């Protein structure tokens, strides 16, 4: 699952990556004990409970940003 997240993340342009990171931090992770940034993606330390939601978000961001 995290390999898919890395692949999708690296396929985004810089502006889309920033939007995606903010969206995950603000709207998907409600628990402040989790950090979510580029290093957590590349180090594959994304909480298992949100991995599927992150994949869907990233796919949507690539196929047409849902965040304006």
pTM attached to this predicted model: 0.83
CB 53 within 8 A of CB 8: no
Q: What CA–CA distance (Å, rounded) separates 57 from 54?
A: 5
Give the pLDDT confidence of 53-63 residue by residue, as tens digits: 999 999 999 98
Determine phi and psi for 5, rounding to 5 degrees: -65, -45
Say which residue the tokens 């594959």 belong to: 44
Give the pLDDT confidence of 16-63 residue by residue, as tens digits: 999 999 999 988 887 888 888 999 999 999 989 999 999 999 999 998
């Amino acid at each position: 699952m995290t390999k898919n997240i890395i692949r999708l993340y690296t396929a985004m342009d810089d502006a889309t990556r920033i939007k995606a990171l903010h969206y995950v931090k603000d709207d998907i992770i409600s628990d402040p004990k989790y950090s979510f940034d580029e290093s957590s993606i590349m180090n594959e330390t994304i909480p298992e409970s949100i991995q599927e939601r992150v994949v869907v978000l990233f796919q949507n961001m690539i196929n047409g940003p849902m965040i304006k």
